[in-house]
Amino acid sequence: MAISISSTAAAHVAEQLADRGHGIGIRVGVKTTGCSGMAYVLEFVDKLEVGDEIFEEQGVKIIVDPKSLVYIDGTEMDFVKHGVNEGFEFKNPNAKGECGCGESFSI
Amino acid sequence: MQSLIRNYFTLFNLPEACELDQESLSAEYRRQQGEVHPDRFANAEEPEKLRAVQLSSYLNEAYETLKSPLRRAAYLLSLRDIDVEQVNQNDLSMDLLLEQIQLREKLDELPIDESALASLDALRSEVNVKLEKQEKKFAEFFDLENFNEAKKVYHELQFLYKLSAEIDAGEEIRLGY
Amino acid sequence: MALLQIQEPGGKQAKPLHRRAVGIDLGTTNSLVSASCGPGVETLPDSAAQHLLPSVVHYSKGKPPLVGVEAKALLVDDPLNTIASVKRLLGKSLSELKAKQDYLPFEFDEARADGAPAILTEAGSKDVVQISADILSALVERAEASLKGALEGAVITVPAYFNDAQRQQTKDAAQLAGLNVLRLLNEPTAAAVAYGLDSNDQGNVVVFDLGGGTFDVSLLSLKNGVFEVLATGGDTSLGGDDIDHAIAEWIAAQLQESAAVAVPSVAKLRQLANAAKHELSDKPQTAIVINQFSALLEESTLKKLTADMIRRTIMSCRRVLRDAGLAVADIDNIVMVGGSTRMPLVRDAVAEFFGKTPLTDIDPDKVVAIGAGIQADVLIGNKSPDSFLLLDVNPLSLGIETMGELVEKIIPRNTTIPVAKAQEFTTFKDGQTVMSLHVVQGERELVSDCRSLARFELRDIPAMVAGAAKIRVSFQVDADGLLSVSAEELSTGKKAEIQVKPSYGLKSSVIEEMLQDSQSHAKIDMEARSIKEAQLEATQLLDAIANALLVDGNLLSREEADSLAESIKALENTMTSGGSVQIHAATEELNQASSDFAAKRMDLHIANALRGESIDAVEK
């Protein structure tokens, strides 16, 4: 079981953590919402919850709760630019369909 | 775009009348431009940008129409289904035409150099006094719903504004532009 | 998929990322780039701590172009491959540039199909868009190094008098340099923005921009965080260079009087003059020394030398005030832009005219770039959108060619943009199915004196009698001041549309002179216009009579026909040689002479119609 992160994404995470000034790492997870069922969660982590799994990749701590882990195991996190927009992108081998907006996915 | 075709006065929350509070007009114009101007959509998708250009252009047109007393007068008449483009020769009195000819002769006779600037200023004040008088007269007729007379005064106003523009052009020539 | 940003724990919105946006002042002589650094916007220096980047590009074979100080150093040694002042070439066709008297030391690429000016260099043929893009790239590189990351957007300033072609090419150059152009911003507006936000003023602001070669003046109103450009004006051939020139001439005159030493080269004189001008910014007098010769230039002398130029700048101020319908007393602030406003004489004249001390806190060379940077920060979304809004105007009138080569203005100058206006036109000839539309820009009344922007055709108009078709022509100017035009035949809904791009190879007077031209020619224009109109009226009458003669010529007796032919001949002669009054008179005469004929035709047609034949059928 693992989650991977590209070096660009890792650099951006590190930079934003440094900018923020505090935090252990980032939480990657899923929550139920949206048109096709589930949406990604991406947030800073100040405090660990019971059962959290911690992955250390490229010097960045990625924290995933056990329920989410089932859905996003094997996911690759990248940082990309589309025109004037930039942000994080997930490549999930488990996802079968995405809604138009791309914020939700189904398995 | 259908939703755009609205009364300009309603658009700016103003009473539909000749007298107009320029301050309220300009404040409301600025407020609304603040919402629809393309600069607010510099990062938006193409259709939104296009809509911003359309809305903002419409707002500009409405504002320019109400801001200018002459255009406002024409617009008020058009709201009463009176076509100001249709000029009936009988609408223009002989006195008016003679007065216009005299004023124009005065303008043409001025020397073409800077020495005429003071006379131009005097002529401009003369025209401005007449403009103010006629604008009042227009409002009076319009408020009495005597639109035929109001239309005649409108044509007088047209003459005066045209003359005023010619005085400006005359000043430009003499200022050496 | 949508791109995600890292959120605060519990789904709270994280502080939005600061996005990298810059303001760029792409100048004729120097260019600058600015960005928000901490609390305010500042211009960004290069590694040698220089803020100004000379707008000079040097091309050599197999190497990337050199931009800035290094390129400037090669101007004298390698003039064919070193290009300065490319901004002056924007929007011009090759033929226009060649027609200009100014000597340009380049070899132009004659092989280019589109007639756009391109310069042959060691590194190949470079057009003005490419050269401008190379300057922009140097600024982008500087900004990205300084901001540590790729730029997401830029606001680029252009002179207020820039026409559509010049704006379009500036935008093209930015896109070629990989920039996302958030907005093209008028330079004086940018300057007012730089001051406006710092002092949070309300009221009317005059921006007085006296650069090396041009003078611009704008009047803006600032209220509740909204800037509105009320009017712009200026003089495109007036600047600090003219002041240097006047001083240089004075030095030459002093030298000739003393006859002690030979008059040095023009370049040397200019250099001495420029140095003297700078000296006089701090001191009441300065000595000019050439070998044994020495002359004392006093402020009072300089005042005399520059009196006419300064008077012209003040006249422009007066005119802009009038365009906006304001008086001197209505002006709350005056912003000074451009190196030449450092001259105390200029500052004093401005202060005297407006009765107020002008604002000079921000470096007049940097103020435009700083304003552009502030606007970029707002447009990219770093600042709250309520902070301020800019309402700009179009600097030159836009119109369409009508019959007789006259210009019908659709959007007058100083109209707030974006703006959309439509006007209806009709066909000129019976059965006309194609209408060609010629879009022009400028203040003059005749097409040949305005700038040609584009030509296009509306086809498949249903055949009708002249004047029956209704064609609506719509002009739309967007917030960058760029124009698109569409034409629609109202009964069929047939449409044609064009996005106006620079058009080359069209004969037209040089754009910078156009604004000035329009005023000095107003009088001549009036008569020229009257003649054109009279000629048109005469042509229409002649055509109508010729047609009538073809159909119903047999209605006339020999004497009647001869007398009519005489009047026709008289009008034809007057048309080519006479003034508007004479043409009118001759037209009126022919009208009279043909009235009996017209009456006879009318009688005949009515009689025919009563017999059950349609008039149409008779006409054929």
Counting residues of chain C whose pLDDT is more than 90, the rounded percentage is 20
Look up tokens 């019959």; give the residue. Answer: C403
Q: How confident is the model at residue C209 (pLDDT cuts 50, 70, 90)?
A: very high
Q: Which of residues C530 and C74 earns the better pLDDT score?
A: C74
Domain ranges of chain C: 23-152+164-179, 240-307, 393-520, 523-619
Q: Do B54 and C225 touch (CB under 8 A)?
A: no
Q: Residue A70 falls within a domain, yes or no?
A: yes
Structure tokens at C275: 């140095």
**Same domain for B169 and B99?**
yes
| Encoded amino acid at C467, one letter | G
Distance from CA of B47 to the nearest CA of C (A): 14
Kindly tell me if the per-residue pLDDT of C352 is higher than 90. yes
By residue range, what is the domain housing residue B54? 2-67
Q: Which residues pair with A80 in a beta bridge?
A: A87
Residue C348 has a pLDDT of 93
* Three-state secondary-structure class, residue C239: coil
Cα–Cα distance, C174 to C354 (Å, whole number) = 38
Q: Residue A105 falls within a domain, yes or no?
A: no
* Three-state secondary-structure class, residue C333: strand
Cα–Cα distance, C188 to C209 (Å, whole number) = 7
Q: Is B62 in contact with B4 (CB distance < 8 Å)?
A: no
Counting residues of chain C whose pLDDT is more than 70, the rounded percentage is 85
Q: What is the mean pLDDT of chain C?
A: 81
**Same domain for B93 and B125?**
yes
**Same domain for B98 and B151?**
yes
User: Domain tally for chain A?
Assistant: 1
Q: Is C416 in contact with B30 (CB distance < 8 Å)?
A: no
- Closest CA relative to residue C160, chosen from C177, C184, C179, C130: C184
Q: Residue B82 falls within a domain, yes or no?
A: no
Q: Which residues pair with C153 in a beta bridge?
A: C21
Q: Do B60 and C416 touch (CB under 8 A)?
A: yes
Q: For A19-38, what is the mean pLDDT? A: 70
Q: Residue B42 falls within a domain, yes or no?
A: yes
Cα–Cα distance, A26 to A45 (Å, whole number) = 5
Q: For C128-146, what is the mean pLDDT? A: 94
Q: How confident is the model at residue C620 (pLDDT cuts 50, 70, 90)?
A: very low
DSSP letter at C129 equals H
Q: Is C486 in contact with C496 (CB distance < 8 Å)?
A: yes
Q: Which of A28, A36, A44, A98 is the best substitution to test chain C (most C C-beta atoms within 10 A)?
A: A44
Kindly tell me if the per-residue pLDDT of C176 is higher than 50. yes
- Closest CA relative to residue C21, chosen from C475, C266, C376: C376
Q: Which of residues C65 and C263 earns the better pLDDT score?
A: C65
Is C209 among the catalytic positions? yes
Structure tokens at C16: 């939005």
* Three-state secondary-structure class, residue C154: strand
Q: For C417-436, what is the mean pLDDT? A: 86
For B125, C153, C387, C389, the CA distances from C383, given in Å and listed in that order, are: 47, 14, 7, 12
Which span out of A73-82, B148-157, C126-135, C577-586 was modeled with the highest average pLDDT? C126-135
Cα–Cα distance, C19 to C151 (Å, whole number) = 8
**Same domain for B99 and B167?**
yes
**Same domain for B167 and B111?**
yes
Residue C406 has a pLDDT of 87
Residues from chain B contacting residue C381 (CB–CB below 8 Å): 43
Burial C498-529 (b: 16+ CB within 10 A, else e): bebebbbebebbebbebbbbbbebbeebeebb
**Same domain for B169 and B105?**
yes
Residues from chain A contacting residue C4 (CB–CB below 8 Å): 40, 42, 87-90, 103
Query: What are chain C's partners, defined as 3 or more CB pairs within 8 angstroms?
Result: A, B
How does DSSP assign B87-129, residue by residue?
--GGGS-HHHHHHHHHHHHHHHHS-SSGGGHHHHHHHHHHHHH
Q: Which residues pair with C32 in a beta bridge?
A: C25
Residue B139 has a pLDDT of 93
Is C298 among the catalytic positions? no
For residue B69, whether the previous peptide bond is cis, meaning omega lies within 30 degrees of 0, is no
Residue C608 has a pLDDT of 58
Give yes or no for C389 touching B (CB within 8 A): yes
Which among C72, C87, C92, C532 is annotated as catalytic? Answer: C87
Give yes or no for A87 touching C (CB within 8 A): yes
pLDDT one-digit tens code per residue, B15-74: 998 889 988 998 889 888 888 888 888 777 778 888 888 889 999 999 999 998 999 999
**CB contact residues (below 8 A), chain C span 358-417, against chain A:** 380
- Sequence-distant (6+) residues with CB within 8 A of C384 are none
Q: Residue C390: which H helix or E strand, with range?
A: strand C389-391
Q: Which CATH architecture has domain C393-520?
A: Sandwich (2.60)
User: Domain tally for chain B?
Assistant: 2
Kindly tell me if the per-residue pLDDT of B1 is higher than 50. no
Q: Residue A100 falls within a domain, yes or no?
A: no
Kindly tell me if the per-residue pLDDT of C618 is higher than 90. no
- Among the four given CATH numbers 3.40.50.1100, 3.40.50.2000, 3.20.20.100, 3.30.420.40, the one describing domain C23-152+164-179: 3.30.420.40
Distance from CA of C318 to the nearest CA of B (A): 10
**Same domain for B125 and B161?**
yes
Q: Residue A106 falls within a domain, yes or no?
A: no
Residue B36 has a pLDDT of 87
Is C96 among the catalytic positions? no
For A37, A73, A83, B104, C448, the CA distances from A5, given in Å and listed in that order, are: 24, 12, 22, 81, 65
Strand segments (E) across C4-94: 21-25, 30-37, 40-43, 53-54, 56-58, 66-67, 82-84
CATH assignment, C523-619: 1.20.1270.10
Q: Do C391 and B31 touch (CB under 8 A)?
A: no
Residue C366 has a pLDDT of 94
Q: Which of residues A107 and A30 earns the better pLDDT score?
A: A30
Kindly tell me if the per-residue pLDDT of B173 is higher than 80. no
Nearest to A102 among C1, C8, C180 (CB): C1
- Closest CA relative to residue C570, chosen from C556, C557, C589, C553: C589
Nearest to C180 among A40, A84, A103 (CB): A84
Q: For C149-167, what is the mean pLDDT? A: 87
- Closest CA relative to residue B148, chosen from B91, B94, B76: B91
Kindly tell me if the per-residue pLDDT of C1 is higher than 70. no
Long-range contact pairs involving C563-570 (C-beta distance under 8 Å, separation at least 24): C563/C593, C564/C593, C564/C594, C564/C597, C567/C593, C567/C594, C568/C542
Cα–Cα distance, A20 to C500 (Å, whole number) = 48
Q: Do C385 and B40 touch (CB under 8 A)?
A: yes
By residue range, what is the domain housing residue A39? 4-94
Residue C484 has a pLDDT of 84
Output the domain CATH number for residue B110. 1.20.1280.20
How does DSSP assign C510-533, residue by residue?
-GGGHHHHHHHTHHHHHHHHHHHH
Residues from chain C contacting residue B40 (CB–CB below 8 Å): 385, 389
Q: Which of residues C461 and C60 earns the better pLDDT score?
A: C60
pLDDT one-digit tens code per residue, C210-264: 987 778 898 988 776 677 778 888 876 788 888 888 898 898 888 888 776 777 7
Q: How confident is the model at residue C349 (pLDDT cuts 50, 70, 90)?
A: very high
Q: Residue B138 falls within a domain, yes or no?
A: yes
Distance from CA of A36 to the nearest CA of C (A): 13
How does DSSP assign C190-216, residue by residue?
HHHHHHHHHHT--EEEEEEEE-SS-EE
Q: Do B34 and C225 touch (CB under 8 A)?
A: yes
Kindly tell me if the per-residue pLDDT of C431 is higher than 90. no
Q: Which of C171, C419, C423, C525 is the best substitution to test chain B (most B C-beta atoms within 10 A)?
A: C419
- Closest CA relative to residue C34, chosen from C185, C139, C150, C175: C139
Distance from CA of C4 to the nearest CA of A (A): 5
Q: For C577-596, what is the mean pLDDT? A: 80
Q: Do C523 and B173 touch (CB under 8 A)?
A: yes
Sign of CA dihedral C299, C302, C308, C309: negative
Q: Is C170 in contact with C177 (CB distance < 8 Å)?
A: no
Residues from chain A contacting residue C14 (CB–CB below 8 Å): 16, 20, 43-44
Q: For C68-89, what is the mean pLDDT? A: 87
Q: Which of residues C616 and A16 earns the better pLDDT score?
A: A16
C240-307 topology per CATH: Actin; Chain A, domain 4 (3.90.640)
Q: For C457-477, what is the mean pLDDT? A: 84
Kindly tell me if the per-residue pLDDT of C610 is higher than 60. no
Q: Is C319 in contact with C519 (CB distance < 8 Å)?
A: no
Kindly tell me if the per-residue pLDDT of B131 is higher than 80. yes
Nearest to A87 among C5, C153, C180 (CB): C5
Q: Is B75 in contact with B152 (CB distance < 8 Å)?
A: no
Q: For C523-540, what is the mean pLDDT? A: 70
Which among C187, C377, C449, C517 is annotated as catalytic? Answer: C187
Residues from chain B contacting residue C380 (CB–CB below 8 Å): 42-43
Structure tokens at C501: 């791009």
**Same domain for B102 and B56?**
no
**Cα C183–Cα B37–Cα C411 angle in degrees, nearest 5:** 80
**CB contact residues (below 8 A), chain B span 5-34, against chain C:** 26-27, 30-31, 33-34
pLDDT one-digit tens code per residue, C275-291: 888 888 888 888 888 87
Q: Which of C416, C424, C499 is the best substitution to test chain B (most B C-beta atoms within 10 A)?
A: C416
Q: For C8-13, what is the mean pLDDT? A: 60
Output the domain CATH number for residue A79. 2.60.300.12
Q: How confident is the model at residue C194 (pLDDT cuts 50, 70, 90)?
A: confident
Residues from chain C contacting residue B60 (CB–CB below 8 Å): 415-419
Cα–Cα distance, C373 to C197 (Å, whole number) = 12
Nearest CA in chain C to A13: C6
Residue C346 has a pLDDT of 93
Residue C39 has a pLDDT of 66
Give yes or no for C39 touching A (CB within 8 A): no
Q: How confident is the model at residue C520 (pLDDT cuts 50, 70, 90)?
A: very low
Burial B45-83 (b: 16+ CB within 10 A, else e): eeeebeebbbbbbbbbbbbbebeebbebbbbbbeeeeee
pLDDT one-digit tens code per residue, C30-52: 999 999 876 678 899 988 889 99
Cα–Cα distance, B78 to A53 (Å, whole number) = 73
